[in-house]
Amino acid sequence: MVYRSRSQVIRNLPMIAGLMWRAGRWILVISIACRLMLGLVPLGIIAISRMIIDIVSAGPGAGSGPVGALIALEFGLAALGVILMRILVFADALAEERFTERTSLEIMAHASEMEEALYEDPVFHDKLERARLQATDRVVILKTFGDLLLNGAVAISLCVGLGLYSYLYVLVLLATSVPVLWVEGAMSLRWYALKTRQTPQRRYLDYLRLLASSRESSKEVKLFQLGAEIRSRYLESSRKLIEEVDREQRRRLVAGSIGIVSIAGQYGIYALVVLAAAAGKLSVGSLFFLLAAVTGSARALQEVFKAAASLADQANFLDDLAHFFELRPARPVGQMRRLDLPLKTGLEFRDVHFRYSGSDRPILNGVSFTIEPGERIALVGDNGSGKSTIIKLLLRLYEPEGGSILLNGIPLADYDPADLYRRVGVVFQDFVRYEVSFRDNIAFASLDRLDDPEALARAARSARADEVAERLPGGWNQILGRRFAGGLDLSGGEWQRVALARAYLRDAAILILDEPTAALDADTESEVFEQFAALARERLSLVVSHRFSTVRKADRILVLVDGRIAESGDHDSLMRLGGRYAHLYTLQASSYG
Ligand code: ATP
Ligand code: MG
């Protein structure tokens, strides 16, 4: 495990180096150069001191000229050390920010390339989360690399100095330090393994903390008086974690006492040096030099060990980041065709089968239907029957397990996804409430229209979102949501109108609305449907709704039952058929009495 983890670090070095290089090449060069130079300063200083001491201890006959020059030289070196240190602090602070920025940007770019399906995978989720943390929490790794380099340079240069006197010193030093390195490394890896094992529980704790203290949940938590229960569940889980940490740290405490071995080594060399000096084999200057070199190199080696262990400790985090970057969208790269407009043949689902990964339950079980351009299609079905799933498949957020989906006569997989996405206006059932300005909320659908107030106003009007803006104190510049200072929340239906306006802003060839009217008042709903009906005339459109007042106006209604399209036709013909649709419609109509 120790080996594996070390080799992980080495394997991931190119990735980290690449990130640092892209983050700021000059900073990287400067900080490496400074560290290598700084690494030589201690050796230089004690070597000069040795000369000074030897000259002085030779007796009063020694000239003060060379001593003065040597002192000046040593001062120069010490001053250089201080300056280099300051430059390093400066470079490191900048490097940290740049590294965070670069890593965050690359993580965001990569995350947005990944398929929707991957976001649902908890393993991927963990990786993404840990990768995201890398970008901010894990800048430690930069410092660790820096420490390794600096102390490595100090240790090597001082060991070379020692070796000039006797290989025995170096041998004793290494022989007593390496076991310590080994044990420390192993302990640190065990510690890491524990932290990894605890990740799911820690995520659970995070969730409980969020539940007990977030704005979203506060109403229900208060009303159901869940606070005490959440705290007790928290305590129960957290206690277990603390126990494990306690056990592991005790073990570390005991094993850590091996550190004494390396101290013993240092004192062993100490004794050898003093003996040699007593026998007259060493000058006073050399005695000073050796003692300083032994303590200095031992300390530097210790730091090297520490940095190496800490790197190994971070190896798995690094690995997550590397794996995350290595993940490629699984979708086979198709022919990257562009969509020919205007659409001629529309959309066809041909015997489409689908199930979500990690689940055995087939959701779609041979779904077949067609949508002609200009036809207004409504899709109905029970909760969980797979309506939103059909939409996700049609947008290529997932790949079907069997059957095919054709758009304009060409398999969906052959289209360039970016080109396809540009052609789609959509309101998802779980649409996003962007906590940015009202204007941005609409313009996010088509950023090139951000400065086209007319287009924005038209889209807002079609969704009756213009009325919402009129009521806002900040108008179109009002920040929505409560996350940021000055933000204002909207009602459920108001948010829905904003989402609709977003879908309408695009000059889309395909218009898809999943429950667009669920939160709308009856008046708005009917007007929204009018707008939709007009817009759908020149487009390929699909609307999912549980509101039969909306559904009945569609040109054709598809009824999804047991993973198949069970009925298809306009309102009147389906009513005559007297099947599922007729049943549901009558039920809803009768509840209005
Ligand atoms: P509703 O009317 O409630 O919106 P729907 O017809 O849109 O329902 P879908 O969202 O398509 O239903 O879900 C169909 C089934 O697939 C549900 O039973 C649900 O449990 C399952 N399902 C949906 N999303 C996922 C997912 N990401 N992973 C696993 N199963 C899912
Ligand atoms: Mg749905």
DSSP output for 375-429: -EEEEEE-TTSSHHHHHHHHTTSS--SEEEEEETTEEGGGB-HHHHHHTEEEE-T
CA 452 → CA 293, 448, 587, distances in Å? 71, 8, 46
CA 384 / ligand 2 centre spacing (Å): 7
CA 442 / ligand 1 centre spacing (Å): 27
Ligand 1 site, CB within 6 A: 120, 356, 359, 363, 381, 383-389, 429
What is residue 545's three-state secondary structure? coil
Ligand nearest to C-alpha 514: 2
Q: Which residue has a Cα nearest atom 26 of ligand 1? A: 356
pLDDT tens per residue, range 332-355 = 555 688 888 788 888 999 999 999
CA 383 / ligand 1 centre spacing (Å): 8
Closest ligand 1 atom to residue 382 Cα is: 2
CA 387 / ligand 2 centre spacing (Å): 5
Angle between helices 284-326 and 2-23 (to 10 degrees): 80
Under 8 Å between Cβ of 320 and 368: no
CA 390 / ligand 2 centre spacing (Å): 9
Of 336 and 385, the structure prediction assigns the larger pLDDT to 385
pLDDT tens per residue, range 32-58 = 999 999 999 999 999 999 999 988 887
CA 106 / ligand 2 centre spacing (Å): 32
CA 351 / ligand 2 centre spacing (Å): 20
Ligand nearest to C-alpha 546: 1
CA 545 / ligand 1 centre spacing (Å): 14
CA–CA dist 108, 54 (Å, integer): 62
pLDDT of residue 377: 92
Ligand nearest to C-alpha 122: 1
Closest ligand 1 atom to residue 392 Cα is: 11
Closest ligand 1 atom to residue 386 Cα is: 11
The pair of three-digit structure tokens given for residue 447, joined into one six-digit string: 């950023």
Q: pLDDT exceeding 70 applies to what percent of the chain? A: 92
CA 428 / ligand 2 centre spacing (Å): 9
pLDDT of residue 396: 85
pLDDT of residue 304: 85
CA 392 / ligand 2 centre spacing (Å): 10
CA 220 / ligand 1 centre spacing (Å): 24
CA 539 / ligand 2 centre spacing (Å): 22
pLDDT of residue 476: 93
Q: Is residue 566 scored above 80 in pLDDT?
A: yes
CA–CA dist 24, 448 (Å, integer): 31
Q: Which residue has a Cα nearest atom 12 of ligand 1? A: 384
CA 437 → CA 237, 471, 476, 479, 507, distances in Å? 40, 14, 7, 4, 22
Mutate to test the pocket of ligand 1, among 352, 357, 387 (most ligand atoms within 8 A of CB): 387
Ligand nearest to C-alpha 428: 2
Residue 406, burial from CB neighbour count under 10 angstroms (0-12, 13-18, 19+): middle
* Banded pLDDT at 1 (limits 50, 70, 90): very low
CA–CA dist 357, 365 (Å, integer): 15
Closest ligand 1 atom to residue 391 Cα is: 11
Closest ligand 1 atom to residue 389 Cα is: 11
Q: Which residue has a Cα nearest atom 1 of ligand 1? A: 383
* Banded pLDDT at 205 (limits 50, 70, 90): very high
* Banded pLDDT at 171 (limits 50, 70, 90): very high
CA–CA dist 35, 154 (Å, integer): 9
Lowest mean pLDDT among 321-335, 382-396, 442-456: 321-335
CA 260 / ligand 2 centre spacing (Å): 65
Q: Which residue has a Cα nearest atom 19 of ligand 1? A: 384
Residue 409: how many CB atoms within 10 A of its CB? 11
Ligand nearest to C-alpha 392: 1
Under 8 Å between Cβ of 481 and 435: yes
**228-267 in b/e burial notation, b at 16+ Cβ within 10 A?**
eebeebbeeeeeebeeeeeebeeeeeeeeeeeeebeebbe
CA–CA dist 528, 516 (Å, integer): 9
Neighbours of ion ligand 2 (CB under 5 A): 387-388, 429
Mutate to test the pocket of ligand 1, among 353, 363, 545, 547 (most ligand atoms within 8 A of CB): 363
pLDDT of residue 63: 63
Closest ligand 1 atom to residue 429 Cα is: 4
Ligand nearest to C-alpha 393: 1
pLDDT of residue 142: 79
Tell the residue number behind the tokens 């190896």, with chain if given: 315
CA–CA dist 395, 415 (Å, integer): 11
Q: Which residue has a Cα nearest atom 17 of ligand 1? A: 384
Helix, strand and coil content of the chain, in percent to the nearest 5, comes to 65, 10, 20
pLDDT of residue 255: 86
* Banded pLDDT at 231 (limits 50, 70, 90): very high
Q: pLDDT exceeding 90 applies to what percent of the chain? A: 40
pLDDT of residue 257: 86
Q: Is the peptide bond before 342 cis (omega within 30 degrees of 0)?
A: yes
Closest ligand 1 atom to residue 359 Cα is: 29
Ligand nearest to C-alpha 382: 1
CA–CA dist 515, 431 (Å, integer): 10
Torsion of CA 171, 173, 175, 179, to 10 degrees: -160
Mutate to test the pocket of ligand 1, among 119, 124, 356, 544 (most ligand atoms within 8 A of CB): 356
Q: Which residue has a Cα nearest atom 27 of ligand 1? A: 120
Residue 190, burial from CB neighbour count under 10 angstroms (0-12, 13-18, 19+): middle
Q: Please tell me whether the overall predicted TM-score, pTM, comes out greater than 0.85 for this model.
A: no
Mutate to test the pocket of ligand 1, among 125, 383, 388, 546 (most ligand atoms within 8 A of CB): 388
Lowest mean pLDDT among 447-451, 522-526, 545-549, 562-566: 522-526
CA 292 / ligand 2 centre spacing (Å): 73
CA 174 → CA 162, 323, 410, 498, distances in Å? 12, 35, 69, 69
From first CA to last CA, the distance across the chain in angstroms is: 71
Torsion of CA 467, 472, 477, 483, to 10 degrees: -120
Under 8 Å between Cβ of 189 and 316: no
CA 547 / ligand 2 centre spacing (Å): 13
Closest ligand 1 atom to residue 515 Cα is: 4
* Banded pLDDT at 524 (limits 50, 70, 90): confident
